[in-house]
Structure 1
Amino acid sequence: MLRKSLMTGAAIAILATTAQAETIAVPEYPETYSQDVVETIFGEEVADPFRWLEDDVRNNPEVANWVERQNSVSGAYLEQMPANAWFKGKMGELLNFERFGTPTRAGEHYFYSYNSGLMNQSQYFVRDGLDGEGRLLLDPNEWSDDDATALAGTAPSSSGKYLAYAIQDGGSDWRTIRFLDVASGEAVSDEINWAKFTGMQWVGDEGILYSRFPEPEEGQDFQARNFNQAVYFHRIGADQSEDQLVYSTPDRPALGHVGLTTDDGRFAIILSREGTEAKQEVHVVDLAKRDEMGWKPRTLVGGLDHEWNPIESVDGTLYFMTNQGAPKYRIVSIDMDAPTLEWKTVIAESDMPISGASIVGGNLVVEYLKDASSQAVIFDLQGTRKSDIALNGIGSAGGFGGSPSNSETFYSFTSFNRPSTIYRLDLDTNETRIFAQPELTFDPDNYGVEQVFYPSKDGTKIPMFIVKRKDVTGPAPTLLYGYGGFDISLTPGFSSSRMAWMEAGGVFALANIRGGGEYGKEWHDGGRRANKQNTFDDFIAAGEYLKANGVTSEDGLAIQGGSNGGLLVGAVVNQRPDLVNAANAAVGVMDMLRFDRWTAGRYWVDDYGYPDREEDWKVLRAYSPLHNIRSGEEYPAMLVTTADTDDRVVPGHSFKYTAALQAADVGEQPQIIRIETRAGHGSGKPIDKIIEEYGDILSFLAFHTGLAVPSE
């Protein structure tokens, strides 16, 4: 038996903070048995004593029992956190305001999501005309007893006659697609199963393109690796067994495919990629010739060399956003009716990376990132700059969808201290008006948002946002968040949990470390594969900056990250346990030697490398959180969080990592795990579960950094 007990006889470890008088005993961990599993990999013996914890909870009673016992321990401990009830109450207050999604127009219908405040799942409405009365179409709160069945995507047909919508159950990545008749609100009997990583793209009102995988073997739906994705066409009124295969590559099973359609109904575009890196092949189907040619595609871009994101089609010309010859992206066009296909640059690369583009009313709306904050510019279709869209300071803008034949677009703007406001913009008149604005329970002007640039280990300047109440003037417990992977940019946005932390008097910091997409391809490449250590160095340097510059106190730094960010937290705690005082590693990738064996993990080799290749394996072995726990070091208080139904980063990662922490000699701070049920990787989680989970997380981090919440 491998086991770590922190309570021996009368010698009970007691934790206390200078800001809180309460004392709480560190829990005794449940017993976790170990196996004699040792493999020799590239000449090194690697032990894996907790491999049995990789099994699916639903299929292995021993794993289920382990989860129950761990939750019993962590639940009892977290209930004792002095600020637990305060944080849950504060989050309830902060979430209790009306929230609207950015509208989608189809015909004369406007479709949007709506939440009155504390609904577990947002509802879905339609308006007939912009100023029409909202009519409820879908209420996911009625779909399950625990409200863990969520609306995971919507797509109105071209005229707005039908609505396709995706259902997510228990947080899984699998989707069930169903349909509604919009006029009557009645369900259409069609149902599509085993869809995953898919869009729902309409061909007129006729049917949709969607992506699916073969049905997995029984009991393997949450663990089997995802291969042989294919694009199908489903015609309204037909059974799924009659769906037409549009595109597949059985000779290249690792390729994933998604089908898109242009607003004018002229083209279907098939994008194919092998991993998470944005390198795609592009095939085009001329839908005007479907009667004679069927779904036969024309290759537009072969080879997985660059990113090609379709924007739209206008008069037979396709517009794309690409990083071919432009690490920060450019916009190009190609006339599909010309005798010879030729790419033309419409908008050249600039010093700000392009993060998105759309064509609205004969205009190109181009979104840029300037030091991780949104900018938006309007061009004509020849690339001449017309005007800038005025945004409300440092923040994130999103949306800008619409049609080349209509000048109307909607967009949202949010920042750390401001929930999303939805705007309607008419590009013909340049008139902007508010479509929906939340009424808040706090004053955004009471919070300051600052951006600093600090040096990493190699001298690279890294941007970091620092947000706090303006009356917080001295060092204060600080929550530092990071991600650093998969070309994903972290931009300013509202979070009730972060706001609750700041309402309590804490500081929130977000570091835009390498591996993300904040500065284009070079920034991403600087934090992946053999350069992954830069990501950890950047995050460590952020913590050092916060302490050296009096933002936080010497014993007041908490770090947090999820998924790839959970890996970040695990690696940084291993490398600099002295820097961190409390940590939350959420749904993290913790076993870097076996991550590619489950579900979507095999896609991640683009960012991490291949565990079966010696050169990559040595890099992975050097930082894998599971394999680099430093027994004999004093570790910070660690709360690992995951869900038993996570089929993106399977919970075995967190299970094995926690078992290894509890078995090691890492000092007297708690090393516990909180395991949610029917919550998956995070999307679709009910509001009540979010409040409960983050109340536990924030109170844990507060207790171990000395953050004392205001007395009521």
Structure 2
Amino acid sequence: MKKTFLVILLAIMTQVIFAQDDPYLWLEDVDAGKSLNWVEQWNEKTLKVLMSQPGYEEMYEKDLEIYNSTDRIASPSIIGNLVYNFWQDEEHPRGIWRRTPLQSYLSGEPHWETVIDVDALSKQDNEKYVFKGASGLYPDYDRFLVNLSKGGGDAVVIREFDAVSKVFIENGFYIPEAKGSASWIDRNTLMVSTDFGDGVTTSGYPKQVKIWKRDTDLKNARLVFDGQEDDMGIWGYTTHTKDKTYQIITQRTSFYTGSYHIIENGELVKPDLPEDIELSGIFNKQVLLSLKSDWNIGGNSFKQGDMISIPYADLIKGGTNYQLIVRPDERSSIAETNATKNVLLVNMLTNVKSELYKYTYNGTWQKEKIDAPELGNISLGSADEDSDTYFFYFQNFLMPSTLYKGDAATGQFVKVKALKSWFATEDYQVQQFEVASKDGTMIPYFVVSHKEIKLNGKNPTLISAYGGFEVPRLPSYSAITGTSWLEKGGVFVLANIRGGGEFGPKWHQAGLKENRQRIYDDYFAVAEDLIARKITSPKKLGISGGSNGGLLVGVGFTQRPDLYNAVVCAVPLLDMKRYNKLLAGASWMAEYGNPDIPEEWEYIKKYSPYQNLKEGMEYPEVFFYTSTRDDRVHPGHARKMVAKMSEMGYKVYYFENTEGGHAGASTNEQRAKMAALQYSYLQMKLMN
């Protein structure tokens, strides 16, 4: 006990000393007048330079035309017997939530009925609302719980909405702004995870779940689960079927570990499951589970990356009747799943390319491949719970997104709509290479270039990567990248470095905590290979990344400034000494480690960009951007990095959008501006 107390005291003293040594700590006060004045001055300086670059205005207008184009796919969400869609354009900058019957949608010229006009609602309430989705009351979907963010942050207000009269219900369910959620149990009962007034976790997420009855006070709702302050967060949710409403609570002790609890007959049941297992859904009374590590159970040896199932009735009784559904190999992984009435759809990645499969269950699992488009990226869309109708999308670097409607029972599908191409894709090529990282692991990456590219080391080249949280980076079509970069003579590179989910949990876990440097070594290996192939050279090479990708590029230019001449660092983590003290930062310690533990700070401090800035280096002129309303990654990271670099005499660029949340923008105008600023900077540094 005494030793534990001394460790805690030492950590606190270290934090106090560090805070005193950080002259830019005041920039963490997001809305302080001094901070906002600083932001305004930097915005003015940066916009003056970037908006005056040749071609900026034309680029902005083209970007806005792309974002506002009515030729976009109206992404369908099947809810009951209707298709819902959220749409933003020039006339509706904040958007409209609208609906139409399925047959009308499939006609090609649907007659849309506006359900919620977010622009009108924002004007009425004098708030800059951002629509964050809605959950309907099964099975009639005449009521919804609508999530509205004030400025685009993760925190939302939840309001009950009558979908028949199309009005918010006076004295209906209302949950104040918080990083919470709510699910329907029945018409008069909700399962709610929010800040009930008793505080939240250190990550800023709910630590309690309550059952709330209509016409009672939220604070008096019945407590069904009470977590710990140092949990990442506690969430409750429901899954509705014709037979049963499943009530599930997940207690996340970290980003990748936790436990599941099920309310059955009013009692809380905790299944005996590995702490890193992921409950992927319930289909045909089978609970679907994804394994992040090997598991021996019931005489079966399941492997890391497997998807398995168990009957719900067995699970809550402590049974071990698990069955294997999918087992990926070393170069494949499960990207996503979805389910229709009778079919489980599984989207697989094989060497970073998609393959679609259907699974049916009748005591055992039967597998069949769907003859979907190949050599690209499939993403599953909405599925109908009352039939086998579903939607999916296909795209690659040179093929715009195409929407298909499928019949999961037969495996047949038809094209619904294909986006037009905004640039001459027939002039370009895609190549996939791989390179050995420092430890010998082969790292794949894609290169998109003009077919007549000259390998002379003079091609302006941009690398995009992420490398974290088991998030895969997949081939995708970008009209903005095509018109603002490829058509201007640029080369685009997508690097599939470790830390992502391209090859399953093992690929991700290889870069956790003390092994983080492997991710950065992968990143540098790709850059060096591009240079060795004479595709580009350091003077012509740029990198861009956001969030964890912002940390990636921050490490990139502080560890290897010799490799790059341009860096776009968006909504980044950079101060890894204090990241766990800022907003949702504590929830990411399973990814990066805890800087308050001396042994873990020992490896974090070796790459933390803010702490590793040095005077007298030849850093590229970095462009940082973030949002005042980002309530996930604190804008203080970017602010302090800019202040410190500027004080050291480095030339940098900085722009902070006053709204937009972690996405950095809320409207198409803001998105067009951010894109134009980014490519204006890249062209200035790598092309001009």
TM-score (norm 2): 0.87
Determine if the alignment matches structure 1 residue 383 to structure 2 residue 365: yes
Once the two structures are superposed, what CA deviation does each residue of 1:246-291 show, in whole Å capped at 9, x if it has no partner? 43224765443242324343311212212222x23111123xx3xx
Q: Which moved further from structure 2: 601-610 or 544-553?
A: 544-553
Quick one: structure 1 residues 413 and 143, their matched pair in 2 at CA, closer, same or farther if it must change by over 3 Å?
farther
Equivalent of residue 356 in structure 1, options 336, 359, 364: 336
Partners of 2:178 and 2:195 within 8 A in 1: yes
Determine if the alignment matches structure 1 residue 503 to structure 2 residue 507: no
Q: What is the aligned partner in structure 2 of residue 466 from structure 1?
A: 447
Once the two structures are superposed, what CA deviation does each residue of 1:74-124 show, in whole Å capped at 9, x if it has no partner? 122222322322321231233324334543333322222234578533422
Partners of 1:50 and 1:659 within 8 A in 2: no
Q: Which amino acid aligns with 1:180?
A: F
CA distance in 2, matches of 1:600, 1:301: 29
Determine if the alignment matches structure 1 residue 652 to structure 2 residue 622: no
Determine if the alignment matches structure 1 residue 401 to structure 2 residue 383: yes
Quick one: structure 1 residues 444 and 312, their matched pair in 2 at CA, closer, same or farther if it must change by over 3 Å?
farther
Determine if the alignment matches structure 1 residue 57 to structure 2 residue 41: no
**Alpha-carbon shift at residue 68 of structure 1 (Å):** 1.7
Quick one: structure 1 residues 53 and 471, their matched pair in 2 at CA, closer, same or farther if it must change by over 3 Å?
farther
Quick one: structure 1 residues 580 and 214, their matched pair in 2 at CA, closer, same or farther if it must change by over 3 Å?
farther
Partners of 2:211 and 2:224 within 8 A in 1: yes
CA distance in 1, matches of 2:367, 2:95: 38
**Alpha-carbon shift at residue 687 of structure 1 (Å):** 0.9
Quick one: structure 1 residues 365 and 88, their matched pair in 2 at CA, closer, same or farther if it must change by over 3 Å?
same
Question: Number of matched residues?
Answer: 651
Equivalent of residue 42 in structure 2, options 63, 70, 77: 70
Structure 2 unaligned residues grouped into runs of 5+ = 1-10, 106-110, 295-302
CA distance in 2, matches of 1:207, 1:504: 56
Partners of 1:118 and 1:687 within 8 A in 2: no
Aligned to 1:699, what secondary structure does the other structure show? helix
Determine if the alignment matches structure 1 residue 543 to structure 2 residue 527: yes
Q: Which moved further from structure 2: 178-187 or 577-586?
A: 178-187
Q: Which moved further from structure 2: 438-447 or 631-640?
A: 438-447
Determine if the alignment matches structure 1 residue 346 to structure 2 residue 346: no
Determine if the alignment matches structure 1 residue 332 to structure 2 residue 321: no
Partners of 2:394 and 2:402 within 8 A in 1: yes
Partners of 1:106 and 1:160 within 8 A in 2: yes
CA distance in 2, matches of 1:577, 1:311: 45
Equivalent of residue 128 in structure 1, options 73, 84, 101: 101
CA distance in 2, matches of 1:267, 1:67: 48
Aligned to 2:605, what secondary structure does the other structure show? helix
Q: Which moved further from structure 2: 361-370 or 611-620?
A: 361-370
Equivalent of residue 283 in structure 1, options 261, 283, 286: 261
Structure 1 unaligned residues grouped into runs of 5+ = 1-37, 708-712
CA distance in 2, matches of 1:164, 1:503: 44
Alignment of 1:201-280 (within 5 A): 201-214=183-196, 225-226=203-204, 228-235=206-213, 240-241=218-219, 243-250=221-228, 253-264=231-242, 265-277=244-256, 279-280=257-258
Determine if the alignment matches structure 1 residue 150 to structure 2 residue 133: no
**Alpha-carbon shift at residue 62 of structure 1 (Å):** 1.6
Q: What is the aligned partner in structure 2 of residue 298 from structure 1?
A: 269
Once the two structures are superposed, what CA deviation does each residue of 1:321-361 show, in whole Å capped at 9, x if it has no partner? 33342322322223416865224123142212112223323
Alignment of 1:15-26 (within 5 A): none
CA distance in 2, matches of 1:136, 1:636: 48
Once the two structures are superposed, what CA deviation does each residue of 1:309-328 show, in whole Å capped at 9, x if it has no partner? 232242x4323333342322
Q: Which amino acid aligns with 2:660?
A: A
**Alpha-carbon shift at residue 624 of structure 1 (Å):** 0.8
Aligned to 1:80, what secondary structure does the other structure show? coil
Aligned to 2:270, what secondary structure does the other structure show? strand
Q: What is the aligned partner in structure 2 of residue 4 from structure 1?
A: none
CA distance in 2, matches of 1:468, 1:229: 49
Equivalent of residue 533 in structure 1, options 504, 512, 517: 517
Root-mean-square deviation over aligned CA pairs = 3.0
Q: What is the aligned partner in structure 1 of residue 60 from structure 2?
A: 88
Q: Which amino acid aligns with 1:329?
A: D
Q: What is the aligned partner in structure 2 of residue 612 from structure 1?
A: 596
Q: What is the aligned partner in structure 2 of residue 79 from structure 1?
A: 51
Once the two structures are superposed, what CA deviation does each residue of 1:160-212 show, in whole Å capped at 9, x if it has no partner? 22222211121211111123222222222335334655555333545543421
* Larger relative contact order (Cα-Cα within 8 Å, sequence gap ≥ 6): 1
Q: Which amino acid aligns with 2:271?
A: L
Partners of 2:447 and 2:492 within 8 A in 1: yes
CA distance in 1, matches of 2:89, 2:15: 57
CA distance in 1, matches of 2:628, 2:561: 28
**Alpha-carbon shift at residue 407 of structure 1 (Å):** 1.2
Quick one: structure 1 residues 251 and 550, their matched pair in 2 at CA, closer, same or farther if it must change by over 3 Å?
closer
CA distance in 2, matches of 1:329, 1:426: 26
Q: What is the aligned partner in structure 1 of residue 550 from structure 2?
A: 566
Q: Which moved further from structure 2: 428-437 or 590-599?
A: 428-437
**Alpha-carbon shift at residue 524 of structure 1 (Å):** 1.0
**Alpha-carbon shift at residue 41 of structure 1 (Å):** 4.1
Quick one: structure 1 residues 551 and 199, their matched pair in 2 at CA, closer, same or farther if it must change by over 3 Å?
farther
Partners of 1:180 and 1:188 within 8 A in 2: yes
Quick one: structure 1 residues 585 and 449, their matched pair in 2 at CA, closer, same or farther if it must change by over 3 Å?
same
Aligned to 2:471, what secondary structure does the other structure show? coil
Once the two structures are superposed, what CA deviation does each residue of 1:420-466 show, in whole Å capped at 9, x if it has no partner? 32221112333312334334443444443322212212221111121
Determine if the alignment matches structure 1 residue 185 to structure 2 residue 185: no
Q: What is the aligned partner in structure 2 of residue 370 from structure 1?
A: 350
Determine if the alignment matches structure 1 residue 431 to structure 2 residue 401: no
Aligned to 1:384, what secondary structure does the other structure show? strand
Quick one: structure 1 residues 103 and 632, their matched pair in 2 at CA, closer, same or farther if it must change by over 3 Å?
same
Partners of 1:483 and 1:564 within 8 A in 2: yes
Quick one: structure 1 residues 328 and 540, their matched pair in 2 at CA, closer, same or farther if it must change by over 3 Å?
same
Q: Which moved further from structure 2: 120-129 or 502-511?
A: 120-129
Question: Which structure has the highest helix share of the two?
Answer: 2
Partners of 1:194 and 1:214 within 8 A in 2: no
Q: What is the aligned partner in structure 1 of residue 298 from structure 2?
A: none
Once the two structures are superposed, what CA deviation does each residue of 1:490-523 show, in whole Å capped at 9, x if it has no partner? 1122334322222322111111111111111211
Equivalent of residue 557 in structure 1, options 517, 528, 541: 541
Q: Which amino acid aligns with 2:347?
A: E
Q: Which amino acid aligns with 1:375?
A: E
Equivalent of residue 494 in structure 1, options 456, 471, 477: 477
CA distance in 2, matches of 1:237, 1:306: 39
Aligned to 1:130, what secondary structure does the other structure show? helix
Once the two structures are superposed, what CA deviation does each residue of 1:357-414 show, in whole Å capped at 9, x if it has no partner? 23323222112111223221112222221232412531242225332x5211122223
Determine if the alignment matches structure 1 residue 174 to structure 2 residue 155: yes
CA distance in 1, matches of 2:169, 2:400: 35
Aligned to 1:300, what secondary structure does the other structure show? coil
Quick one: structure 1 residues 142 and 467, their matched pair in 2 at CA, closer, same or farther if it must change by over 3 Å?
farther
Aligned to 2:193, what secondary structure does the other structure show? strand
Partners of 1:203 and 1:209 within 8 A in 2: yes
CA distance in 2, matches of 1:43, 1:164: 43
